[in-house]
Amino acid sequence: MLKTIDGGLTEDKPRRCGWVGSDEIYRDYHDNEWGVVEHDDSKLFELLILEGFQAGLSWLTILKKRENFRKAFFNWDIRKISRLSQKQTEKLMADEGIIRSRRKIDAAKKNALAFIEIQKEFGSFDRYIWGFTNGNMLVNRYSSWRDIPAKSSLSETISKDLKKRGFIYCGPVIVYSYLQAIGMIDDHMKGCFKA
């Protein structure tokens, strides 16, 4: 949309959440994914694994390496990841395009195994994870990104259950970010064009 300012035309930029900043990758993620309801098990798995890899790093770092992760982890094929061999793990450890953390790579395999077990029990991971809110999105409208909590009672409950089921790198802070990523929690701020 164009609008006139002092006789000239300028692009009307949408207002976004305060954490977005000017990086195009962040803007694209915010505008098209963050807080958007996700039900596809493959995508739910991808985001869960990426959130685990993000621990101790910035989300922007993960987003910049996202395509490399997709290639390195068999286009997020859960079964292939669950069967990672030592040789494949070593290959991943040498891949400069991803985060080369043995603990996080091992966690991806362990979490794939646990993810498969949840699919067997519930029919899908989607049914399991969205069951915590009876399929409802929780909507918050904070005035500042600084007001958005790092965790909640919901993320603590889900984190405990995931750990009980064998998941690692799924503490309540990671889980809260995950719930935002899959649209279970919509924390778009007041004034954001996505709110």
Q: In the CATH scheme, what is the code of domain 37-186?
A: 1.10.340.30
Apex 143 CA angle, 60 and 179, nearest 5 = 50
Q: Exposure string (b/e) for 139-151, b if CB count within 10 Å is 16 or more?
A: ebebeeeeebeeb
Comparing C-alpha atoms, which of 72, 50, 61, 71 is closest to residue 25? 61
CA–centroid distance for 15 within its chain: 22
pLDDT at 2 over 60: no
The residues assigned a catalytic role are 29, 51, 59
Q: Rounded mean pLDDT of 89-97?
A: 98
Q: State the burial class of residue 159 (Cβ atoms within 10 Å of its Cβ: 0-12, 13-18, 19+).
A: buried
Whether pTM exceeds 0.85:
yes
Strand partners, 9: 4
Indicate the SS3 state at residue 4: strand
74/2: higher pLDDT: 74
**In whole angstroms, what is the distance from residue 14 CA to residue 164 CA?**
42
The pLDDT tens digits of the residues spanning 129-151 come to: 999 999 999 999 999 889 999 99
